[in-house]
Amino acid sequence: MTLTFRDVTLGYDRHPAVHHLSGNLRRGSLTALVGPNGAGKSTFFRGIVGFLQPLSGKIERMVDRRDIAYLPQVTEIDRSFPVNVFDFAAAGLWSKIGALRGIDAASRTQIETALDALGLLGFERKPIGTLSGGQMQRLLFSRLILQDAHLIVLDEPFNAIDERTTADLVARIHAWHDEGRTVIAALHDLSLVRAHFPETLLLARRTIAWGPTETSLTEANLAAARRMSEAFDDHADACAHTTPSAA
């Protein structure tokens, strides 16, 4: 296993957003995270990467946190920051060479290769604020390539991009999967999930289904997810909880 969740509750200021989740993310699996808006998908991802500690339960990581690559939603990226494409991608190497170390010839070749893999060679000096939505997402994937992580966590990687870019990024995800990496991605397009993701976690504050996509994304399960998500009260009293724990 890459991750094991043991009755995990995650939330903010003691108010839970994901409740009593148990299950395993298998090493080398390709999993879609599906659920209605407000279902707790981004919260779940923040728990995986260690940004949030569980309110209760335990996350057991059989992978070092430095070996987790996280792609947040593109709306969380400050594109007004004055950085160009090359330097933004180069941040993917920081865990290996350090943020303050200069870029040597070998590292420069790695960065250019990663940009070329996503069709961005020739854009190196462009400010990231001038990129289209699809180009920005390609850049984020280039940075993930350079991180060379075992566990890849993608929060809505296909939002507001064109079909060609989606196809190219899906191909990159399959390449990671073929390399034996573990990939989990939050998605809304169920046809894309059914076509490309063998496993699905259907989340609606709690687990509705977690397993093969064809048995997880049934109409009954999707209806249950909608009902459960709508039933939760964001203003309910805080839950009692035990001391947080994470491996």
* Positive or negative: CA dihedral 179, 121, 67, 94: positive
218 DSSP β-pair partners: none
Strands lying side by side in the sheet with 15-25: 15-25, 3-12, 56-61, 245-246
- Give the per-residue pLDDT at 95: 73
Query: Phi and psi (nearest 5°) for 172?
Result: -65, -40
Q: Beta 199-204 vs 206-212: how paired, if at all?
A: antiparallel
Q: What is the pLDDT of residues 31-45, one digit of tens each?
A: 999 999 989 999 999
DSSP H helical ranges for the chain: 41-49, 85-90, 94-97, 105-117, 133-147, 163-178, 190-196, 213-216, 219-231
Whether CATH 3.30.70.1350 fits 1-63+151-156+198-246: no
pLDDT (tens digit per residue) in 76-115: 888 889 999 999 999 999 877 665 466 889 999 999 999 9
Domain ranges of the chain: 1-63+151-156+198-246
Given a cut of 70, whether residue 55 has pLDDT beyond it is: yes
CA separation, residue 44 to residues 12, 52, 133, 174 (Å)? 12, 9, 25, 23
What's the confidence (pLDDT) of residue 98?
A: 60
Give the pLDDT confidence of 178-195 residue by residue, as tens digits: 999 999 999 999 999 999
pLDDT the model gives residue 239: 53
The pLDDT value given to residue 138? 97
Per-residue pLDDT band for 231 (boundaries 50, 70, 90) equals low
